[in-house]
Structure 1
Amino acid sequence: MTHQGTLRDDAVRVLKGHEGQDELRQSYLDHLSAHPDGMWKACGSGHLTASALVLAPERGQVLLTLHRKLRMWLQMGGHCEPGDATVAGAALREATEESGIEGLTLLPGGPLRLDRHSIPAPCTQHFDVQYAALVPPGAVELISDESLDLRWFAYDEVADVADLSVRQLVDAARTALGKATV
């Protein structure tokens, strides 16, 4: 089996196991069923992406990137690559690359949210699978070439700088953190 088949199989498994967002989750599964290349940037009708909100819960902060092309404050994330074996692995790789922080760990329990959004041509949309990643003690961020800026925001500051999708992801992460500490 190729890496592409393995990653696609993992995506289907992850999506089938995702609770909530039933209609949106089904649209992701339908897209993958209709498009054999639906995991990859080359798929012009849209493709899966993987992202992770980087959290420092002890400080009550999230790390956001000012995306170079979109000029929006977003969580770390991006396209799946042929070397990715899992969607979670792709999210963790993207978070590590874009934050410069080694040793991030994904919050257990799988993705927190799904978010489908339009993107500029030539593609039409991203089917984003969203996770949360915890920073290790003493972590220091390092801006990447994909960012104009990288900044920590208190949970309650996110609403002032980010769009609804990011705000919803922060809320989902805070809920998941609360469940993880109980």
Structure 2
Amino acid sequence: MSLHDEAVLTLEQYRGRDGGAEQAELRQHYLDHLAAHPDGMWKACTAGHLTASALVIDPERGRVLLTLHRKLRMWLQMGGHCEPGDPTPAAAALREATEESGITGLTLLPGGPVTLDRHAIPAPCNRHLDMQYAALAAPGSTELISDESLDLRWFGYDEVPAVADASVQRLVDRVRAVL
């Protein structure tokens, strides 16, 4: 099965986790986008494309690992564009989280994406349709800054609103609700 088909299957099974009507609308928008754009998984699709991200969490210490994104200069969860070798959106999210955090042995929370988020980005991409997962870091994990990041830092759940935008805070809130 192609990554495109896997994304459709994942979205068809997605029911949101306390996201209500907004998540249902986003889910349908993603499905409509993929139906209209066979290239909708790839960065080259300038009408927008699906991306995969993962919030790295340390639930024992009540904290999340955020990256200071090199291009956007914002504190964000790990994530990015899907690649041809990614078998599923979940695998893409896990790959991105591992690459950007430097932490080996991350595991995704079961149950598919925690939430969906649509956001505008600078051209030429224009719009990301992000499938957001949560990745558990093992106790004692050590992070390592990648080339895509200016900094990596652990933040307590309650510190996130002071450093990150509303989309990251929504992701943190939804992850906490399912832990």
Q: TM-score range by the shorter chain?
A: over 0.9
**Residue matched to 2:13:** 17
Aligned ranges 1:125-136 → 2 under 5 Å = 125-136=127-138
1:36-75: CA deviation from partner (whole Å, max 9, x where unpaired): 1000001011100000000000000000000000000000
Aligned ranges 1:47-66 → 2 under 5 Å = 47-66=49-68
CA distance in 2, matches of 1:76, 1:122: 21
**Residue matched to 1:78:** 80
1:151 counterpart SS class: strand
CA distance in 2, matches of 1:122, 1:78: 15
Which of these residues, 93, 99, 120, is aligned with residue 118 of structure 1? 120
1:121-170: CA deviation from partner (whole Å, max 9, x where unpaired): 11210000000000012210000000000000000000000001000000
**Residue matched to 2:69:** 67
**Residue matched to 1:180:** none
1:131 counterpart SS class: strand
Gaps of 5+ in 2: 17-22
Gaps of 5+ in 1: 178-182
Aligned ranges 1:1-182 → 2 under 5 Å = 6-20=2-16, 21-177=23-179
CA distance in 1, matches of 2:126, 2:13: 26
TM-score by length of 2: 0.95
CA distance in 1, matches of 2:73, 2:13: 33
Sequence identity percentage: 75
2:119 counterpart SS class: strand
Aligned length: 173
CA distance in 2, matches of 1:104, 1:123: 28
1:143 counterpart SS class: coil
Would you identify which runs of 4 or more consecutive aligned residues in structure 1 move more than 6 Å?
none
1:7-49: CA deviation from partner (whole Å, max 9, x where unpaired): 1111001111111311111000000000010000010111000
2:154 counterpart SS class: strand
